[in-house]
């Protein structure tokens, strides 16, 4: 990992919401959900409400590249 001090004014845009893919793993059985236009804390809360005892929740930022192909950036 590399860390450096930055000027936060170099940002040209931002968004309070994004699209996420939430995976709920219950004993090796995965279910994936797409959440649109939500804040990250909302995605976490949503995933937690779907989780049962013994399950794990993973969240990824869902983005598309310049060819329109979906990609994931893992956050949890």
Is the residue at 35 inside a domain? yes
pLDDT digits (tens, 9 = 90+) for 8-61: 999 998 888 999 999 999 888 999 999 999 999 999 999 999 887 888 999 999
Is the residue at 9 inside a domain? no
Side-chain-side CA neighbours of 62 within 13 Å: the count stands at 19
pLDDT of residue 61: 97
Is the residue at 4 inside a domain? no
Is the residue at 26 inside a domain? yes
Range of the domain at 44: 17-74
* Number of domains composing the chain: 1
pLDDT of residue 54: 81
Query: What whole-number distance in Å separates Cα of residue 56 and Cα of residue 51?
Result: 7
Is the residue at 8 inside a domain? no
Is the residue at 63 inside a domain? yes
């Amino acid at each position: 990992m590399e860390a450096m001090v930055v000027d936060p004014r170099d940002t040209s845009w931002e968004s309070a919401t994004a699209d996420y893919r939430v995976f709920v793993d219950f004993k090796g059985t995965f279910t994936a959900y797409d959440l649109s236009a939500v804040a990250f804390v909302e995605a976490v809360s949503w995933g937690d409400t779907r989780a049962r005892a013994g399950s794990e929740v993973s969240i990824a930022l869902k983005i598309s590249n310049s060819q329109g192909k979906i990609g994931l950036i893992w956050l949890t």
